[in-house]
Chains A and B, each alone.
Chain A
Amino acid sequence: MPGILRIAYKLLVNDRAKFAALLVGITFAVFLMIEMTSLFAGILARSSSTVINIGASVWVMDPAVQTVANTIPLPDYVLHELRSTPGVKYAVPLYSGGALLKLRDGSYQAANVIGLDDTSLLGRPQMISGNLQDIFAENAFIAIDDAEFYKLKNPRIGTEFELNDHRGVIVGIAKVASSALFGVPTLYTTYSRALQYIPNTRFTISYLLVEPKSVADVPAIKQRVRAAGYLALTRAEFVRKISDFYMYQTGIGTNMMLMTLISFIVGLSISGQTFYTFILENLDKFGALKAIGAKGHELIAMILFQASFVALTGYGIGVGLCALLIGLARAHLPDYAAMITYRNLLTAFVMVVVIAGMSSYVGVRKVLRIEPFDIFRG
């Protein structure tokens, strides 16, 4: 480390009270910013859990669909048309709907029922116990061991329940990549059984899952679906559509962004003011340095180094604290939806850099204006 920066470092960290106040300000801001954005990221990820868990390449739906949970049934002819579309390797129906279960202790529990195509079981979950083939057995359902699993009273293979006066049996326990957003457990069964157990409208297909022969075929498939009056989206596009809905049409995004902005302002206020005070208290020392022979760019380097050091240290501690809190919360609260993403980290980092930049800008202006002559004049 160049000597001048080492002096800057010592001036900063040896002033323990100021250094602590600066760190607390940045850490607090980073913690809040990452916590807010992580909560939002967690909610968004869960809102697309069905899309992520089923994992089909292309999803065909009614254009009015806004989220994966609000399905608008499709007529069978769309499936037939898709299957005859050039570039389609295969196309299968998917059922997704809600149901009310009566558990063995007599209590009722809402659940999300996913009906997989009988012939391909496309989108099948990863089995933890039991055999996937048993899904074809009489009254068979597979329970998903996610954050909501306990609401089914922790069933085991053979556990029975009722669904619309039909008997249901758990034949396997499976896991999926992402838990659902709305706090209800998920059961997988076959498409035909789902239709048999759950009351339906005239059209029954929630989504059509399409596998193109190649990525290059996707535009043509989309075009064909659009011509039929429906919408085909790739998995990423569907996830983005759902995220956009929650972000821009529910108020969740606005509130989260406001909270993030408030965290930024709080961090900027605390850190900016403390750093400004720190510079003011050392202003005569900077003036003395200038008189001795320090050049303007060296003083600027000192201040930028101090601001950057505080910002990066506070950022690291803030990220660490947030990760710790989210880890603890997830361990004790299965429903806790928060995930730290690279995007969140980058957003918080950019905001911290802005805080450091604005704080040091004020300091630099002050230091560059101090005249060494003022040091002589006292």
Chain B
Amino acid sequence: MAIQAVQLNKWFGEGAARTHAVKDVTFQANFGEMLYVVGPSGSGKTTMLSMISGILRPDSGSVEIEGTSIWGLGSDALAEFRLRRIGFVFQDYHLFPRLTTAENVAVPLILQDREWNASLAEAVRNLQVVGLAERAQLAPVKLSGGEQQRVAIARAIVSRPDILILDEPTASLDGDTGRNIVRFVRENILSDRRCIVIVTHDSRIYEFADRIMRMEDGRLAAIERSAVHAQ
């Protein structure tokens, strides 16, 4: 089992403004699985995603990743855990405009104190995986939205994490590009040793999910197998 979340709860605010953002959410995600978290805005998707990826501490409940209770780790150990075990693709990519594409991809390796040139070489290999090796020396601003998304994916997988978290990966892309990106992730990034969790609003990419987790008003409303991958 890749991820096990048990009875996750999160409140925001104080007094009358206090909001119960995530309510008693329990679920599991498995290796070799692409799990979607869907639901309307304000349903708690992003909050839940942040809690299972070691970014936002839950007020109650626990998260285990491959048997490690991540919220039992100290802050530095948790950062190190995220660095080595979890890959992130942010909604707005958050690429560094002043670094080259290859340097952007190499950032997680550099944070792991890997040697600069070796990190860049590994980054270029990962850019090759996403079909952008020839863009390695360009600044991200010179790439299209879809290409930037692929660079963000290359950065997320460069340190070979077991868990990949994608936050609204198609939000800034047109329909075809978005579908192509997710199809690419499904066909090239997902493996038996990797679990991918995607938060999305985009029903056009549901066909690529193994399971879809629906959230409503902070609760887990349903977990269903995708129609395409139900068998």
A and B form one complex: yes
Q: Quick check: which of B27-35, B104-112, B184-192 contacts chain A, the rest being far away? A: B104-112
Say whether, besides A6-B116, A293-B82, A294-B79, A375 and B99 are in contact (CB < 8 Å).
Answer: no
Residues of A within 8 A of B88 (CB): 288, 291-292
Choice from A10, A285, A291, A376 contacting B103 with Cβ under 8 Å: A10
Chain A CB within 10 Å, residue with most, of B76, B92, B94? B94
Q: Are B90 and A375 neighbours in the complex by a CB distance under 8 Å?
A: yes
Q: Would you call B19 an interface residue if the criterion is a C-beta within 8 Å of the partner chain's C-beta atoms?
A: no
Q: Are A3 and B82 neighbours in the complex by a CB distance under 8 Å?
A: no
CA separation between A377 and B108, bound complex, in Å? 21
Residue total for A at the interface (Cβ-Cβ under 8 A): 29
Q: Would you call A100 an interface residue if the criterion is a C-beta within 8 Å of the partner chain's C-beta atoms?
A: no
CB of B157, distance to nearest CB on chain A (Å): 12
Say whether, besides A6-B116, A292-B82, A372-B55, A378 and B92 are in contact (CB < 8 Å).
Answer: yes
CB of B138, distance to nearest CB on chain A (Å): 13
Q: Would you call B113 an interface residue if the criterion is a C-beta within 8 Å of the partner chain's C-beta atoms?
A: yes
Residues of A within 8 A of B92 (CB): 284, 378
Q: Are B111 and A291 neighbours in the complex by a CB distance under 8 Å?
A: no
Residues of A within 8 A of B96 (CB): 7, 11, 285
Residues of B within 8 A of A378 (CB): 91-92
Q: Are B55 and A7 neighbours in the complex by a CB distance under 8 Å?
A: no
Residues of A within 8 A of B46 (CB): 376-377
CA separation between A376 and B92, bound complex, in Å? 9
Q: Would you call B101 an interface residue if the criterion is a C-beta within 8 Å of the partner chain's C-beta atoms?
A: no
Q: Are A289 and B111 neighbours in the complex by a CB distance under 8 Å?
A: yes
Residues of A within 8 A of B55 (CB): 291, 371-373, 376
CB of A293, distance to nearest CB on chain B (Å): 3
CA separation between A10 and B99, bound complex, in Å? 7
Q: Would you call A15 an interface residue if the criterion is a C-beta within 8 Å of the partner chain's C-beta atoms?
A: yes
Residues of B within 8 A of A14 (CB): 98-99
Chain B CB within 10 Å, residue with most, of A7, A294, A371, A376? A376
Q: Would you call B149 an interface residue if the criterion is a C-beta within 8 Å of the partner chain's C-beta atoms?
A: no
Q: Would you call B170 an interface residue if the criterion is a C-beta within 8 Å of the partner chain's C-beta atoms?
A: no
Q: Would you call A296 an interface residue if the criterion is a C-beta within 8 Å of the partner chain's C-beta atoms?
A: yes
Q: Are B98 and A10 neighbours in the complex by a CB distance under 8 Å?
A: yes
Q: Would you call B223 an interface residue if the criterion is a C-beta within 8 Å of the partner chain's C-beta atoms?
A: no
Proximity string of chain A (34-75) to chain B, C-beta cutoff 8 Å, 1 when within and 0 when not: 000000000000000000000000000000000000000000
> How many A-B contacts are there with CB distance less than 8 Å?
85
Q: How large is the interface on B (under 10, 10 to 19, 20 to 34, 35 or more residues)?
A: 20 to 34
Residues of B within 8 A of A293 (CB): 79-84, 108, 111
Choice from B82, B84, B167 contacting A376 with Cβ under 8 Å: B167
Q: Are A15 and B107 neighbours in the complex by a CB distance under 8 Å?
A: no
CB of B142, distance to nearest CB on chain A (Å): 14
CA separation between A111 and B146, bound complex, in Å? 82
CA separation between A290 and B111, bound complex, in Å? 10
CA separation between A293 and B79, bound complex, in Å? 4
Q: Would you call B114 an interface residue if the criterion is a C-beta within 8 Å of the partner chain's C-beta atoms?
A: yes
Q: Would you call A298 an interface residue if the criterion is a C-beta within 8 Å of the partner chain's C-beta atoms?
A: yes
Proximity string of chain A (1-25) to chain B, C-beta cutoff 8 Å, 1 when within and 0 when not: 0111011001100110000000000
CA separation between A10 and B79, bound complex, in Å? 23
Q: Would you call A295 an interface residue if the criterion is a C-beta within 8 Å of the partner chain's C-beta atoms?
A: yes
CB of A79, distance to nearest CB on chain B (Å): 75
Q: Are A3 and B79 neighbours in the complex by a CB distance under 8 Å?
A: no
Say whether, besides A293-B80, A378-B92, A3 and B98 are in contact (CB < 8 Å).
Answer: no
Say whether, besides A7-B103, A293-B111, A376-B49, A288 and B98 are in contact (CB < 8 Å).
Answer: no
Choice from B50, B76, B98, B115 contacting A295 with Cβ under 8 Å: B76
Residues of A within 8 A of B50 (CB): 372-373, 376
Residues of B within 8 A of A295 (CB): 75-76, 79-80
Q: Are B94 and A375 neighbours in the complex by a CB distance under 8 Å?
A: yes
CA separation between A291 and B46, bound complex, in Å? 14
Nearest A-chain residue to B99, judged by Cβ: A10
Q: Would you call B228 an interface residue if the criterion is a C-beta within 8 Å of the partner chain's C-beta atoms?
A: no
Say whether, besides A3-B113, A14-B99, A378-B92, A292 and B107 are in contact (CB < 8 Å).
Answer: yes
Residues of B within 8 A of A4 (CB): 110-111
CB of A376, distance to nearest CB on chain B (Å): 5
Nearest A-chain residue to B120, judged by Cβ: A3
Residues of B within 8 A of A376 (CB): 46, 49-50, 55, 90-91, 167
Residues of B within 8 A of A15 (CB): 98
Residues of A within 8 A of B119 (CB): 3
Besides A7-B96, A290-B79, 14 other CB < 8 A contacts?
A3-B110, A4-B110, A11-B99, A14-B98, A289-B107, A291-B55, A291-B82, A292-B107, A293-B108, A294-B111, A295-B76, A372-B50, A376-B167, A378-B92
20 examples of A-B residue contacts, CB within 8 angstroms: A3-B111, A6-B110, A7-B96, A10-B103, A11-B99, A14-B98, A14-B99, A284-B92, A291-B82, A292-B88, A292-B108, A293-B83, A293-B111, A294-B79, A294-B111, A372-B50, A373-B55, A375-B90, A376-B46, A376-B49
6 nearest interchain CB pairs?
Answer: A293-B83, A3-B110, A288-B94, A14-B98, A293-B82, A373-B56
B interface residues with partner A (beta carbon < 8 Å): 46-47, 49-50, 55-56, 75-76, 79-84, 88, 90-92, 94, 96, 98-99, 103, 107-108, 110-111, 113-116, 119, 167
